[in-house]
Amino acid sequence: MTDVTRILNAIEQGDAKAADKLLPLIYEELRLLAAQKMSQESPGQTLQATALVHEAYLRLVGAEVRNWDNRGHFFAAAAEAMRRILVDNARRKRSMRRGGHRQKMNLSDAFAVIEEPKEDILAVNEALEKLAGEDQKLAEVIKLRYFAGLTLDQIATIMGIGRRTVDRYWALGRAWLYQEIIQEDDT
């Protein structure tokens, strides 16, 4: 059992001081994930990687009691928290009271949707939510790769599945998202 897993178990048991021990152990990894994610966002972004890490951490170890099985489960939850923060931020920027206007995406090839998240994070998020209703594991692979920037090997480890399975999920998920976003774009 790793130190992170031990501390996560202590947090689950209600040890208030355990949360203070967790941040120094995971901060740099979360910061790297957030920095990678933010580097793909459009220039002039007001949300910084440090703020993204802090907000995600607060959501993860806040007032609600969480049950994390292990380190991988925690980082999957962190990826989900970062996704939600980025989506909320994009929605806030696009809201009419802030003067934002939704624009159609111009996709030049099938991989632009996945490789360039700065294009339209809201469209990807909506398609991903629909995918989660059809295939939760497939959606989880896409979330971890797209929103957390994890490698396929890291995803395989976190999810406890084989690398080749992750490769298949990633290829299928990209194609599914592309089709879904193209259909939405045409309407």
Range(s) within the chain of domains with CATH label 1.10.1740: 1-101
CATH fold group of domain 102-187: Arc Repressor Mutant, subunit A (1.10.10)
pLDDT digits (tens, 9 = 90+) for 78-101: 878 888 888 888 777 776 555 545
* Mean pLDDT over each residue of the chain, to the nearest integer: 75
Place of tokens 């009419």: 96
Mean pLDDT of the region 28-38 = 75
Range(s) within the chain of domains with CATH label 1.10.10.10: 102-187
- What is the pTM assigned to this prediction? 0.53
Query: What percentage of the chain has pLDDT greater than the value 90?
Result: 14
Whether 70 shows a pLDDT value over 50: the answer reads yes
> Which CATH number applies to 1-101?
1.10.1740
